Amino acid sequence: MYQLRKLQTYTIVEHSQTANLDPEKFRQLGYTGNSEAEFLNFISDLYYDDVYNQLDSETRSELSKIKEDVDWTLQYDSTSKFENSWYVIGKDNPEYKRDGEFETYHSTEQDSFLS
Domain identity same for 31 and 60: yes
The whole domain housing 104 covers: 1-16+72-115
Q: What is the pLDDT of residues 70-103, one digit of tens each?
A: 999 999 999 888 888 999 999 999 999 999 999 9
CB of 25 within 8 A of CB of 55?
A: yes
* Per-residue confidence (pLDDT) for residue 80, from 0 to 100: 81
Domain identity same for 7 and 27: no
CB of 72 within 8 A of CB of 14?
A: yes
CA–CA separation, 108 vs 68, rounded Å?
41
* Structural domain count, the chain: 2
Domain identity same for 79 and 104: yes
Domain identity same for 52 and 67: yes
Domain identity same for 34 and 58: yes
Question: Length of the chain, please?
Answer: 115
110 versus 54: which is more confidently predicted?
54
Domain identity same for 67 and 25: yes
CA–CA separation, 113 vs 115, rounded Å?
7
Domain identity same for 35 and 56: yes
In 3-state terms, what secondary structure has residue 59?
Answer: helix
CB of 88 within 8 A of CB of 106?
A: yes
Query: Model confidence at 110, in pLDDT bands (50, 70, 90)?
Result: low
Q: What is the pLDDT of residues 9-66, one digit of tens each?
A: 999 999 999 999 999 999 999 999 999 999 999 999 999 999 999 999 999 999 999 9
Say if residue 67's pLDDT is above 90.
yes
CA–CA separation, 36 vs 40, rounded Å?
6
Instruction: Classify the C-alpha dihedral 103-108-110-115 as positive or negative.
Output: positive
CA–CA separation, 21 vs 62, rounded Å?
7
* Per-residue confidence (pLDDT) for residue 69, from 0 to 100: 87
Domain identity same for 59 and 97: no
